[in-house]
Amino acid sequence: MFKKILIANRGEIACRVIKTARKMGIQTVAVYSEADKDALHVELADESVCIGPAPSKESYLVMDKIIAACKQTGAEAVHPGYGFLSENEEFSRRLEEEGIKFIGPKHYSVGKMGDKIESKKLAMEAKVNTIPGYNDAIDSPEHAVEIAKGIGYPVMIKASAGGGGKGLRVAFNDKEAYEGFASCKNEAKNAFGDDRVFIEKFVLEPRHIEIQVLGDSHGNYVYLNERECSIQRRHQKVIEEAPSPFIDPATRKAMGEQAVALARAVNYESAGTVEFVVGADKSFYFLEMNTRLQVEHPVTELITGLDLVEQMIRVAAGEKLSITQADVGINGWAMECRINAEDPFRGFLPSTGRLVKFQPPAEVPNQVRVDTGVYEGGEISMFYDSMIAKLIVHGATRDQAIERMQDALNAFVIRGISSNIPFQAALMQHPRFRSGNFNTGFIAEEYPKGFDASMVPHDDPALFIAAAAALHRAGEDRDAQISGQMPGHERVVGDDYTVIRGEERSLVKVVPAEGGYDVTLGGELFAVRTDWQFGQVLMNGTLNGKPFTIQVERNGLKYRLAHNGTQAVLMVMSARWAELQALMPVKLPPDLSKFLLSPMPGLLREVAVAEGQEVKAGEKLAVIEAMKMENVLKAEQDGKVKKVVARPGASLAVDEVIVEFE
């Protein structure tokens, strides 16, 4: 067994590998860019080496620096995590040549399966079901349009070296095929240094289901059931679960056996994932093979009881698999939510900055798990992926897993940046998600115009009113204890209040009771029982005996409460205060319609207009790159450019002016 390994990655996956290595008694070396010098993975590792500036192409993607770090520290093996160099054939080969073990498949397997064009041809030879498409690299957008027409729309345009939703577009017509080809090529070149693109038929109403496989160097192979990854937004997975609510045992066996046949065809040694697109009739087609650990591997770990990182390390060290196919079972149900630094209420735009508060839910063995690479006070950088953490739960049934996930999301506190927790909470409550009747188009179909606060269902609005009233009364009672009051003139706290939420005004009576307060609203009694203390961001308690966890934030007169993805801003005051507050003028926001503002922090890649130019609605104005994704800003209405304020190459803040219109 190795004595020391280097992790050629960052963030949560680097921390995840370190945990298993530590459990196995293996020392770890972290590599880091200048932007990551204070990162959690650097702190957790036994040693660390700086490998360059913040941009990944100058640090995490530079093979020479990683190999030099191995030699400098005496690391015998490298775990690549996912992303970066994890599916790079040259990196795997160079490590092998240097006598350093690659904790992953051999370079020839990476090459054959990492290249989507080559892998599809191999899959056909191995008698694995494949989707119709054009399997050679495409040289121009015109060529792409011609091929797309031949296959028949819709088509999927994909970067050959792609992954994680980068370099992937779906086109429904010639214009989208033309533009999608150019975007895929650019994204693929920036993210992977390989701009080859191919096209295949897009299966309508598809499910994205993948099979986890394990192989060793002794010819042993097993499949570890499936993962359901159909809940996606812009081709990036949002929720993953295992098993799938759709797959029956016969389909699972057929998919698993095809996945193993493919792994065997390329002498695959390590953990790998064979992705399939599955139609409504349970017909399935090979999509690609990921020759690395997947982001969503924890759901497989929770239903099988296996540590996949440990399996990868043992296989790389030459050990035989310790299990056979007969040993692989399905224990309960696991689910994972990706917690991303993005604002769901602003079109999921990236959100960067300092994590003022980061308080994940408490981990409970075999129930709640949090994989993360950040900490409170740390920085979410614009240079890397937007994922903050993975929240994983396990239950005896799918319904229990969903309930556990809802409770865990309620208890996950993030302040300073926006996160997609409200969106995840809305999905957990969606009837179609709960029924298991969904496909990869679920989010686009259910939220065609984007996501807003009104789309988060909340079945108990009285909870917010009762909680805010109890919080306010607790504050009033504490204030009344101030020292130095004159005898006979002590402050008397009243029981009657007005709770204001937007345009709604509710009259409540709040009376202290043992363990909390009794709140009367509309003639109905709500017993709020809680051990909440001042300064705590979570209010745990019961409302009429039913447990709840509410996030609490006070800002001046306002209480911002969050529960089940719904945020409510409330004010609690006396009747007279409420009367006066109603007379206060409303401050209207300024008119910003004559400016193109940066919707996110990022790098301005391109300004597509010039001063004096007439623009039409829908025309491209600028391109911003943030968190490894290109974002095209388009004109919302016709107009004329008065001034180009920002120049390509500029680092933009949120709401910074790019273009001014007449």
Q: Which of 457, 461, 406, 462 is nearest to 431 (CA)?
A: 457
Q: In the numeric block, which tokens belong to residue 257?
A: 């056996």
Residue whose token pair is 């932007």: 35
DSSP codes joined into one string, 527-561: EEEE---TT-SEEEEEETTEEEEEEEEEETTEEEE
Distance of CA 452 to the CA centre of its chain: 18
* Integer Cα distance of 492 and 400 in angstroms: 47
Q: Each residue of 61-100: b (16+ CB within 10 Å) or e?
A: bbeebbbebbeebebbbbbbbbbbbbbbbebbbbbeeeeb
**479 contacts: CB under 8 Å, gap ≥ 6:** 491
Give, rounded to a whole angstrom, the gap between the first and last alpha carbons of the chain. Answer: 69
HSE of 306, CA atoms in CB hemisphere, 13 A? 26
Catalytic, out of 76, 200, 241, 288: 288
Task: Return the CA Rg of the chain.
Answer: 27
HSE of 204, CA atoms in CB hemisphere, 13 A? 5
DSSP codes joined into one string, 282-302: S-EEEEEEE-S--TTHHHHHH
**Side chain identity at 64, as an amino acid letter?**
D
270-278 and 284-290 strand pairing: antiparallel
* Integer Cα distance of 432 and 454 in angstroms: 17
For residues 312 and 79, the answer to whether their CB atoms sit within 8 Å is yes
Q: Is 288 a catalytic residue?
A: yes
CA angle (482, 475, 553) in 5-degree steps: 135
For residues 184 and 158, the answer to whether their CB atoms sit within 8 Å is yes
For residues 483 and 490, the answer to whether their CB atoms sit within 8 Å is no
* Integer Cα distance of 569 and 577 in angstroms: 17
Phi-psi region of 167 (alpha: psi -120 to 50; beta: other; left: phi over 0): left
**10 contacts: CB under 8 Å, gap ≥ 6:** 31, 32, 33, 36, 39, 41, 60, 81, 373, 384
Q: Which of 545, 543, 569 is nearest to 558 (CA)?
A: 569
Q: Which of 575, 577, 555, 581 is nearest to 567 (CA)?
A: 555
Distance of CA 226 to the CA centre of its chain: 20
Calculate the dihedral angle through the C-alpha atoms of 401, 407, 408, 414, rounding to the nearest 10 degrees. Answer: 150
Q: In the numeric block, which tokens belong to residue 116?
A: 């989507």
Q: Which of 68, 108, 110, 54 is nearest to 85 (CA)?
A: 110
Q: Could you give the residue ranges of the DSSP H alpha helices within 62-211?
A: 63-73, 89-97, 107-114, 116-125, 141-151, 174-192
* Integer Cα distance of 506 and 469 in angstroms: 10
**213 contacts: CB under 8 Å, gap ≥ 6:** 221, 222, 223, 224, 259, 260, 263, 268, 271, 272, 273, 274
Among all residues, which ones are annotated catalytic?
288
